[in-house]
Amino acid sequence: KPPVRKKTVPGIVASREKLTMLTAYDYWTAQLVDRAGTDMILVGDSLGMVVQGKEDTLEVTVDEMVYHCRAVNRGRQQALVVGDMPYLSYHISREETVRNAGRIITEGRADAVKLEGGRKRIPMIEAILDAEIPVMGHIGLTPQSVNALGGFKVQGKDFKSWQRAVDDALALQDAGVFALVLECIPYDLAEEITGKLDIPTIGIGAGPACSGQVLVTHDLLGMSFGRTPKFVRQFADLSATGGDGLAAFIEAVHDGAFPTLKESFKPSKKADNIQLY
């Protein structure tokens, strides 16, 4: 069997096909999305909400990102792994920023980092790029700005905010980001940005014109019990099928139908001779 070739940043940028990116935070999910053929796996700070059950992404730490990136890296074979930089890990100084991005790459074994924000992030982006770490940008609804934005709201609806998004996108491309996430903006704005850029745009709630699409895997597989945003399509319902399976297990245990002797070990000859594995 030929060795699997891992996707690369230049390969992603040069891709002529629509790109896909899916989130994963653990070994099993990384294997699932990698085998499905996604181009990129995002170890997103959405971790804070979908795995840790928090209200927003603000408390996620670099240590947590490193831990989850390590698990995801072991589960992937072909996909590019992008690690999110948590809130406050790239806001204070260039030194702290490069150290934190570097930990996600060296300890976490991600291939690239992603960070949120427009032109004001360029000094930090340049510092990370100087350390030879590829950076993905992220504009529009930037969840780490939830307090400044006053909630998770569609961005770019008025003229000023539209123009700011276009200018930020061009400035981030000039700074050297290899791809740009566009989150929750009107589809005509995403179309204009995608048309103006040479690098790929990866949309989430940004319509069909983007160069690729990203979704939170938990949302698209129905791995949550809350409401999902308008832009999510639920392609499977793991909460339902998983819940059915678990109910069947509980019933089988109550009925004495599980386990059978076939699912048990043969009687031992000597009590001290039991080897389980």
Binding site for ligand KIV (CB under 6 A): 23, 42, 44-46, 84, 181, 183, 204, 214, 216
Q: What is the DSSP letter of 117?
A: B
**Minimum distance from CB of 126 to ligand KIV (Å)?**
21
Q: How far apart, in whole angstroms, are the C-alpha atoms of residue 129 and residue 122?
A: 10
Residue nearest to ligand KIV (CB): 44
Peptide bond into 86 cis (omega under 30): no
Instruction: Candidates 11-19, 37-45, 195-203, 264-272: pick the segment binding Na ion (CB under 5 A).
Output: 37-45
Q: Are 48 and 54 in contact (CB under 8 A)?
A: yes
183 part of the active site: yes
Query: Per rule CB under 5 A, is residue 84 in the interface with Na ion?
Result: yes
Position among 30, 41, 44, 172 found at the interface with Na ion (CB under 5 A): 44
| DSSP helix/strand/coil, 214 | strand
| 114 marked among binding-site residues | yes
Least gap, CB of 254 to ligand KIV (angstroms)? 39
As measured in angstroms, the least distance from the Cβ of 60 to ligand KIV is 9
Listed ranges 33-41, 81-89, 192-200, 207-215: which one lies at the site for Na ion (CB under 5 A):
81-89
Nearest to ligand KIV of 46, 97 (CB atom) = 46
- In the complex, the smallest distance separating the C-beta of residue 27 from ligand KIV, rounded to whole angstroms, is 18
Q: Which is nearer to Na ion, 44 or 137 (CB)?
A: 44
Shortest gap between Cβ of 44 and Na ion (angstroms)? 4
What is the Rg, in whole angstroms, of the alpha carbon atoms belonging to the chain? 22
Q: Which is nearer to Na ion, 39 or 84 (CB)?
A: 84
Output the CA–CA distances (angstroms, integers) from residue 258 to 8, 136, 162, 275, in the order listed.
47, 49, 60, 22
Q: How far apart are CA 241 and CA 198, in angstroms?
A: 42
Q: Annotated binding residue at 6?
A: no
Distance of CA 118 to the CA centre of its chain: 19
Query: For residues 139 and 216, what is the distance between their CA atoms, to the nearest angstrom?
Result: 17
CB nearer Na ion, residue 84 or residue 168: 84
> Per the annotation, does 116 bind a ligand?
yes
Strands 19-23 and 135-140: unpaired
Active-site option among 55, 183, 191, 192: 183
**Tokens 């930990």 label which residue?**
103
219 contacts Na ion (rule: CB under 5 A):
no
Name the one residue in this structure whose structure tokens are 């930020």: 168
**HSE value, Cβ hemisphere, 13 Å, CA-based, for 111:** 22
Q: Which residues are catalytic?
A: 183
Task: Summarize the annotated binding site for Mg(2+) as residue ranges.
Answer: 45, 84, 116
